[in-house]
């Protein structure tokens, strides 16, 4: 079945450590997105990528980094510079950036203590 996978489902890290969240899709979609979700705040866009080897900052990119070396993969690194990293992180993809709906992965819940 085609879809988006995110791993792991739950992730725990100590403060000051970088951590990388995985996102893989086999939908052959060009565009991929990372969102952060906090209670009562909806989804906020961190980074997005329209095509391989290209990505742009979203609304809350500070303290995060991404890469897009392969079409199917869009990993997100939460760096130690991110002041409040504990959150639910969602990866999504769409056929291309534009007016098409986005398909979401199951999410990764990151807890930093």
3-state class of 79 per DSSP? coil
93 binds other proteins (CB under 8 A): no
Kindly tell me which of 82 and 102 has the beta carbon lying closer to other proteins: 102
- Count Cβ atoms within 10 A of the Cβ of residue 54 and give its class: 0-12 exposed, 13-18 middle, 19 or more buried: exposed
Kindly tell me which of 5 and 17 has the beta carbon lying closer to other proteins: 5
45 binds other proteins (CB under 8 A): yes
26 binds other proteins (CB under 8 A): no
Nearest approach in angstroms of CB 90 to other proteins is 6
Instruction: Retrieve residue 54's tokens.
Output: 């290209």
Instruction: Retrieve residue 27's tokens.
Output: 């939908």
Instruction: Retrieve residue 90's tokens.
Output: 């969602």
Long-range CB pairs of 62-68, under 8 A, 24+ apart, other chains included: 64/34, 66/34, 68/32
Instruction: Retrieve residue 68's tokens.
Output: 């897009």
Kindly tell me which of 78 and 89 has the beta carbon lying closer to other proteins: 89
Nearest approach in angstroms of CB 8 to other proteins is 13
- Give the footprint of other proteins on this chain (CB under 8 A): 4, 6, 9, 30, 40-43, 45, 48, 50, 56, 58, 88, 90, 92, 96-99, 101-107, 109
């Amino acid at each position: 079945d085609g879809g988006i996978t995110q791993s792991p489902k739950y992730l725990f890290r100590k403060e000051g450590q970088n951590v990388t969240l995985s996102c893989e899709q086999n939908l052959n979609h060009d565009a991929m997105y990372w969102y952060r979700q906090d209670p009562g705040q909806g989804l906020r866009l961190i980074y997005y990528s329209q095509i391989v080897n290209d990505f742009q900052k979203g609304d809350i990119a500070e303290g995060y980094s991404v890469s897009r070396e392969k079409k199917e993969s869009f990993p997100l690194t939460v760096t130690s510079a991110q002041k409040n990293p504990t959150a639910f992180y969602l990866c999504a993809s769409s056929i291309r950036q534009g007016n098409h709906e986005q398909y979401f992965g199951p999410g990764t819940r990151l807890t930093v203590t």
